[in-house]
Amino acid sequence: DSGVTQTPKHLITATGQRVTLRCSPRSGDLSVYWYQQSLDQGLQFLIQYYNGEERAKGNILERFSAQQFPDLHSELNLSSLELGDSALYFCASSVVDGINYEQYFGPGTRLTVT
């Protein structure tokens, strides 16, 4: 158990809908990262928050947004969902960011868009 929690574990929704994925980082970790794993694109970095502020952005679509709250939990909002958004979404956390700090991954949320 990495100490990172993600809810829900599974989500099935229809095209055009909007969903929110939730992540609670390990106690004391300030950085939260979101990754998407799909068959087409592999594992891709989406976005990072550090202590409530957006820190780095990757291949995140405009239909997707995220935020980190004062208690450090984070939410990833996906809107106008398309079939291609079906994927496993991981949240990870680390104490601070930096190339030598281990990122602890949550169990993931499996999103299926029908």
**String marking each residue 51-80 x if it binds another protein according to CB under 8 A:** ----xx-x----------------------
**Cβ neighbours around 91 below 10 Å, total:** 29
95 binds another protein (CB under 8 A): no
Instruction: Identify which of 70, 63, 80, 20 has the alpha carbon closest to the alpha carbon of residue 49.
Output: 70
CA atoms within 13 A on the CB side of 105: 11
Asked if 82 interacts with another protein (CB under 8 A), we say no
Find the part of the chain contacting another protein (CB under 8 A) among 21-29, 60-68, 74-82, 86-94: 86-94
